[in-house]
């Protein structure tokens, strides 16, 4: 009889991405004929701009279909530097840039290059689902920094201090945040910068939603709050959200030369390089007209206003107004412990399951983001879906006794 092959020990710690899992379930239900309204995955519902697609097609036609340099084609890395300089006023050289297979993979390369057993990395919670597993896959330990709804999910000095130990090596910042839509204040970033400088931490700034900001004024950023920290900061970004290019899989990182070189070593031994075709398309996105992200943001802003108004009609929900990204993250805890037809709703997983089964609305339970009182709804979907979905939500919640 053949043996059951054992998996690596690390597999016991890692679950599949819950956002991608709910999305797959919603799509499968839809394909089987169910009228599911999908608020689960966070990806723009807009088409990739035509000039970007044309650049991808041209790359194929011109035979630009071979391996590229490991860190990415030079002209794309130069374009990233030019964007960072023009849009943010930050100076980087092409050797300080890595192009990866999506922002998620940039984060993975970073964690493999930076962290290992015995290291602790602070992750503000609610957090994006992939941060803890990526840190754990590197052998390091995530330390969760609690953010509270009462404080608009900003970092407080006391909570930050509570996470610090001798083993702390770094912190991951995501502002605007997935899943809360919150933006860290300059004051909070200052607190992080102070500790990072004093203790030699690396600060990973995941800026993937930086083109989707609903407030006026400049988005506070750790590099602007503390420019002297630059040699300790890694910027993570990409074109997935800003140019509706989730499937093209292009992300980029900017940081100190020796860290990017280490990340390139990891990349050279894993994916080699991001797709040559997608790199050409991303180049067109970054050097071409820059009105697309702004146009998309206008549409998201209208949807945000609408979805928030609908959620605020439900007295038992509380919802911090998102300042960026395309998620709302209402608190459902007033329903916990209650029931519908004998079906008890104890937590966010039960609530999301109830909404899917009873109202055909796909959402992501807050537990996936380290915040079990909440449920995430992505409003990167059409107004029609949002309007119908919110009616179903109101009806489904009114049935809970
Ligand atoms: N960071 C955050 C916070 C995200 O929500 C996402 C979306 N998946 C990413 C990074 C990475 O996106 P991608 O890999 O599609 O570039
Ligand atoms: N970031 C998106 C989300 O949170 C995409 C899914 C994923 O990569 O996890 O839904």
Give the model confidence (pLDDT) of 39-52 as tens digits: 998 999 999 999 99
User: How far apart are the CA of 178 and the centre of ligand 2, in A?
Assistant: 9
pLDDT digits (tens, 9 = 90+) for 365-388: 999 999 999 999 999 999 999 999
* Binding site membership of 21 for ligand 2 (Cβ less than 6 Å): no
* Binding site membership of 20 for ligand 2 (Cβ less than 6 Å): yes
pLDDT band, residue 15 (cuts 50/70/90): confident
pLDDT digits (tens, 9 = 90+) for 88-136: 999 999 999 999 999 999 999 999 999 999 999 999 999 999 999 999 9
CA dist 91 and 84 (Å) reads 7
pLDDT digits (tens, 9 = 90+) for 191-238: 999 999 999 999 999 999 999 999 888 999 999 999 999 999 999 999
SS3 label, residue 242 = coil
pLDDT digits (tens, 9 = 90+) for 129-162: 999 999 999 999 999 999 999 999 999 999 999 9
Which of 373, 301, 394, 336 shows the shortest CA–CA distance to 153? 373
Mean pLDDT for the stretch of residues 324-341: 96
| Among the bound ligands, the one closest to the CA of 236 | 1
* Binding site membership of 178 for ligand 2 (Cβ less than 6 Å): yes
- pTM of the complete model: 0.96
Query: Are residues 140 and 105 part of one domain?
Result: yes
* Binding site membership of 19 for ligand 2 (Cβ less than 6 Å): yes
326 to each of 43, 273, 293, 346, how far by Cα in Å?
9, 29, 13, 27
> Is-contact 272 344, C-beta < 8 A?
no
Query: Are residues 326 and 256 part of one domain?
Result: no
Query: Are residues 283 and 234 part of one domain?
Result: yes
Give the model's pLDDT for residue 1. Answer: 82
Q: From the alpha carbon of 17, which atom of ligand 2 is closest?
A: 9
Contacts 24+ apart (CB under 8 A), 28-36: 29/356, 29/360, 29/362, 34/360, 35/360, 36/356, 36/360, 36/361, 36/362
* Binding site membership of 23 for ligand 2 (Cβ less than 6 Å): no
Give the position of tokens 């916990």.
Answer: 336
CA dist 324 and 177 (Å) reads 7
pLDDT tops 90 at residue 401:
no
Give the model's pLDDT for residue 24. Answer: 86
Among residues 262, 287, 312, which one ends one of the domains?
287
User: Is residue 128 in a domain?
Assistant: yes
Reading phi first (left if > 0) and then psi (alpha if -120 to 50, else beta), residue 244 is in left
CA dist 351 and 374 (Å) reads 9
> Is-contact 52 243, C-beta < 8 A?
yes
Share of the chain above pLDDT 90, in %: 93
Query: Are residues 316 and 230 part of one domain?
Result: no
Query: Are residues 230 and 377 part of one domain?
Result: no
What would the two tokens of residue 313 be? 């009609």
Residue nearest to atom 2 of ligand 2 (CA): 42
Ligand 2 pocket: which of 25, 40, 103, 178 to mutate (most atoms <8 Å of CB)? 178
**CA-only gyration radius of the chain, Å:** 21
Give the position of tokens 């945040």.
Answer: 177
Mean pLDDT for the stretch of residues 296-305: 97
268 to each of 66, 86, 140, 256, 271, how far by Cα in Å?
15, 30, 22, 18, 6
Q: Which domain holds residue 54?
A: 50-287
User: Is residue 6 in a domain?
Assistant: no
Residue 258's CATH number = 3.40.640.10
Q: From the alpha carbon of 178, which atom of ligand 2 is closest?
A: 4
The total number of structural domains in the chain stands at: 2
User: Is residue 2 in a domain?
Assistant: no
Among residues 287, 317, 333, which one ends one of the domains?
287
SS3 label, residue 339 = strand
pLDDT tops 90 at residue 17:
no
> Is-contact 134 107, C-beta < 8 A?
yes
Mean pLDDT for the stretch of residues 319-345: 96
The three-state (H, E, C) secondary structure of 186-222, written as one string? HHHHHHHHHHHHHHCCEEEEECCCCCCECCCCCCCCH
Query: Are residues 194 and 99 part of one domain?
Result: yes
pLDDT tops 90 at residue 16:
no
> Is-contact 393 355, C-beta < 8 A?
yes
Give the model's pLDDT for residue 26. Answer: 87
Residue 350's CATH number = 3.90.1150.10
Mean pLDDT for the stretch of residues 14-25: 84
Query: Are residues 394 and 298 part of one domain?
Result: yes
Query: Are residues 299 and 272 part of one domain?
Result: no
What would the two tokens of residue 325 be? 């990204």
pLDDT tops 90 at residue 13:
no
User: How far apart are the CA of 55 and the centre of ligand 2, in A?
Assistant: 26
Among residues 223, 254, 287, which one ends one of the domains?
287
CA 302 to chain centre: 21
CA dist 86 and 398 (Å) reads 50
Average pLDDT of the chain, as a whole number: 96
What would the two tokens of residue 108 be? 């993975």
The sign one gets for the Cα dihedral 297, 134, 108, 225 is: positive
Ligand 1 pocket: which of 103, 245, 274 to mutate (most atoms <8 Å of CB)? 103
Which of 259, 267, 271, 199 shows the shortest CA–CA distance to 234? 259
User: Is residue 172 in a domain?
Assistant: yes
CA dist 265 and 71 (Å) reads 9
User: Is residue 80 in a domain?
Assistant: yes
CA dist 114 and 106 (Å) reads 12
Query: Are residues 230 and 123 part of one domain?
Result: yes
């Amino acid at each position: 009889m053949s043996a059951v092959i054992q998996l690596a020990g690390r597999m016991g710690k890692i679950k599949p991405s819950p956002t991608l899992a709910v999305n797959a379930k919603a799509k499968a239900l839809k394909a089987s004929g169910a009228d599911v309204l999908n608020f689960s995955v966070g990806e723009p519902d807009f088409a990739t701009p035509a000039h970007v697609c044309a650049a991808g097609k041209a790359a194929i036609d011109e035979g630009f279909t071979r391996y590229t340099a490991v860190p990415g084609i030079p002209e794309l890395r130069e374009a990233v530097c030019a964007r960072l300089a023009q849009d943010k006023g930050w100076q980087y050289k092409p050797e300080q840039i890595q192009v990866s297979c999506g922002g998620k993979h940039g984060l993975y390369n970073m964690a493999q290059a930076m962290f290992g057993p015995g290291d602790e990395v602070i992750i503000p919670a609610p957090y994006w689902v992939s941060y803890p597993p990526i840190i754990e896959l590197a052998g390091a330990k995530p330390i969760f920094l609690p953010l509270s709804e009462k404080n608009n999910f900003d970092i407080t000095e006391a909570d930050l201090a509570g996470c610090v130990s001798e083993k702390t090596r770094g912190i991951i910042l995501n502002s605007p945040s997935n899943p809360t839509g919150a933006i860290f204040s300059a004051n909070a970033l200052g607190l992080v910068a102070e500790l990072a400088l004093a203790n030699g931490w690396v600060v990973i700034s995941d800026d993937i939603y930086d083109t989707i900001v609903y407030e006026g004024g400049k988005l506070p950023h750790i590099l602007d709050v503390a420019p002297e920290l630059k040699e300790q900061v890694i910027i993570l970004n990409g074109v997935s959200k800003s140019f509706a290019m989730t499937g093209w899989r292009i992300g980029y990182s900017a940081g100190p030369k020796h860290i990017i070189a280490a990340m390139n070593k990891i990349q050279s031994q894993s994916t080699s390089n991001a797709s040559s075709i997608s790199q050409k398309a991303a180049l067109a996105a970054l050097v071409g007209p820059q009105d697309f992200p702004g146009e998309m943001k206008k549409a998201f802003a209208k949807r945000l206003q609408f979805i928030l108004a609908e959620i605020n009609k439900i007295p038992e929900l509380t919802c911090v107004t998102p300042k960026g990204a395309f998620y709302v993250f209402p608190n459902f805890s007033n329903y916990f412990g209650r029931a519908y037809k004998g079906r008890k709703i104890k937590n966010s997983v039960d609530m999301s399951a109830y909404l899917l089964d009873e109202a055909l609305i796909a959402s992501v339970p807050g537990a996936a983001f380290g915040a079990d009182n909440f449920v995430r709804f992505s409003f990167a979907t059409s107004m029609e879906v949002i309007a119908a979905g919110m009616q179903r939500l109101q009806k489904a919640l009114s049935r809970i006794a």
